[in-house]
Structure 1
Amino acid sequence: MTLRDKLAAQRIYILLGALFITSLVVSNLIFQKFFYWYPFDVEIFGSKLFEISVGILPYPITFLITDLISEIYGKKRANDVVVVGIFASIFSLLIIFMADAVPATSWSYVKDDMFNTVFGNSMIAVFASMLTYLFAQFVDIQVYHFWKRLTKGKHLWIRNNFSTWFSQFVDTFTIITLLCSFGIIEWENYKGLIISGFLFKVFIAIIDTPFLYLGVYLFRKRFHLKINEELDLL
C-alpha cells in the first residue's frame, strides 16, 4: 500500500472513531427522554412495544462502526476505538459533574434544578452505560471475529448480525437492570423495556447490514483489498 493510501486510511479511521465517540457520548446525555415508536400497537408486560429511550437511536451506530473497523482495520483497531470511547465517556462525566456543581446566576435561563433534572442523572447513566458498553462492545468484537474466522472472511451478514444481536442483548439487559436498580426507571417497566429495547436493536441491526456491505465494498475497492484482508496502518 502506498503512503498516500495509508494516509487516506488513517483519515477515514479517525473519522469513524469520531462518529463512534459522538454517538456514544450523545446517547448517554439524551437517554432520559422516552418515546413510543408505533408500527405495532402491542403491549408487553404492561409497556407498549417499542416504548424506548431516545438514547437507543444513536447507540446502534457504534456497533455498525466497530463491525466496519473490525472488518477493514482488524480486531486491535476496533478495540482501540472502544477504549477511547471509555475515556470520552469518563471525560464527559467529569464535565457534567463540574457544570452541575457550579451555581447558576439569578438571570440564567437554565436554573440549577432544571439542569440537574436534565443532566443530573447523566452521571449515573454514563457510569452504568460505561460498564455495559465496555462489556457489550468487547463481546461484539470477539463474536464478530469468531464468525469471521469460522467463515474465512465470507458471509459478512452472519458475523454482523450474530455479533450485534448477542452483544445488544447483553447491553440492553445490563443497562436496564442498572437503571432500575439506581431508581431512574421503575421496575414495573423492566420487562417491557428489555424486550422493546432488544427487538428495536435487532431491527436496526438488520437494517444496517446493507450499509455495512456498502462500506466494506467501498473500502475494498478503494484500497484493493481481498476478502479477509485487513488494512495495516503502521
Structure 2
Amino acid sequence: MNDSSAAPVASDAEAIRGRHFRYFDFVMAAFVTILLLSNVLGAGKVAVVHIPGIGPWPFGAGILFFPVGYVIGDIMTEVYGYGRARRCIWAGTAALLFMVVMSLVVVALPPDKNWTGQAAYEQVFGQVPRIVIASITAFWAGEFVNSYVLAKMKLWTGGKHLWTRTIGSTVAGQGVDSLIFYPLAFLGAEGWTSNLVFKVLVTQWVLKVSWEVILTPATYVVVNFLKKREGIDVFDEGTDFTPFRTRV
C-alpha cells in the first residue's frame, strides 16, 4: 500500500505496466457514466438561456455535462498515462455502441396495447443513424486527440503548468470533436445551411473550452489528490501512441 502522505514519484509509463491503482476504476466508471448520461439525457433537449442585451439563446442541454468527460479524460491521462486513458476511451466507445443497439432493440419491440408511452419513448430514445455515427466517431477521435496532446505537452513542459495542457488539449480535442460531429451530422440536412453548421460548430467549441477553463481549479484539486494517493506521476516516455490497442 502506498503512503498517502508521500510525494508522488515521477515514473515512465513502462515502469507501471500492469500495476493496480486504488482509484483508477472509479475514474474510469465516472468517465463512462458521464459519457452515457450526457448522450441519453442531455443530447435530445434544446434549452434556452436569457442573455442580457442579446435575449434568448438556445443551446443543447448536453453541453452542460459532456465536457466534464473531457475533464476526466485530462485527469486520467495526467495521472495514469496515455495507455490507461486509451483503455477508458475504448470502454466508453463500446458502452456507446451497446447503448445504441439497446435503444434500437427496445424502441423496435412492439408495445403492449395498454401501454401509451411508445411515442414518447421513440422521441427520447429513437436514434437517427447519421447523428449516432457522427457522435460516436467524433467522441472517439476527439478523446484520442485530447489524450495524445496532453501526454505530449506533459513531456514538453516537464510536468509543469498543468493548466496549459488541460486547456491546450481540450482546444485540440474539442476542436476535432466539433469539426467531425457537426458537418457529419447536419451538413446538407433539412434546415441546416453551411453557415448555420459553422456557427453552431464554433459556438459549441468555444463553450466547451470555456467549461474546461472554468473547471481548471477543480482539475488541479483532483489531479493533486490522485497523484498523492496513488504515489505516482506518469510521463509517457517511449509510449506507443497508437489508438488501436487496449493493452496498458
Q: TM-score range by the shorter chain?
A: 0.7 to 0.9
Letter in 2 for 1:16: V
What residue number does 2:157 align with? 151
Q: Name 1:36's counterpart in structure 2.
A: 48
2:144 is aligned to 138
Task: Find the partner of 2:30 among 19, 24, 41.
Answer: 19
Return the offset for 1:185. Answer: 6.6
User: Given the alignment of the two structures, is residue 88 of structure 1 paired with residue 88 of structure 2, yes or no?
Assistant: no
Cα deviation, 1:160-190, whole Å, max 9, x if unaligned, reads: 0000012112212321212214848733632
Contact 1:153/1:227 (<8 A) preserved: no
Amino acid at match of 1:79: R
Larger RCO (CA within 8 A; separation ≥ 6) = 2
Alignment of 1:76 onto 2:83: yes
Gapped runs of 5+ residues in structure 1?
Answer: none
1:29-178 equivalent positions in 2, closer than 5 A: 29=40, 30-39=42-51, 41-42=53-54, 51-111=58-118, 113-121=119-127, 123-178=129-184
Deviates more, 1:12-21 or 1:157-166: 12-21
Once the two structures are overlaid, the 10-residue window that deviates more, 177-186 or 17-26, is 177-186
Name the SS of the counterpart of 2:47 in structure 1. Answer: strand
Structure 2 stretches of 5 or more lacking a match?
5-15, 238-247
**Alignment deviations for residues 57-115 of structure 1 (CA, whole Å, 9 cap, x no partner):** 2211111111111111111000100001010011111100101111111221312x332
Please give the secondary structure, in 2, of the residue aligned with 1:37: strand
Aligned-partner SS, 1:10? coil
Identity %: 26
What is the Cα-based RMSD across aligned positions, in Å?
2.9
Contact kept, 8 Å, 1:121 with 1:184, in 2: the verdict is no
Higher helix share: 1
- Closer/same/farther in 2, CA of residues 81 and 226 from structure 1, 3 Å limit: closer
Letter in 1 for 2:192: E
User: How many matched pairs?
Assistant: 223
Q: 1:214 to 1:229 in 2, by over 3 A?
A: farther
**Structure 1 18/185 Cα, relative in aligned 2: closer, same or farther at 3 Å?**
farther
Q: Normalised by the size of structure 1, how large is the TM-score?
A: 0.83
* Matched residue SS, 2:215: helix
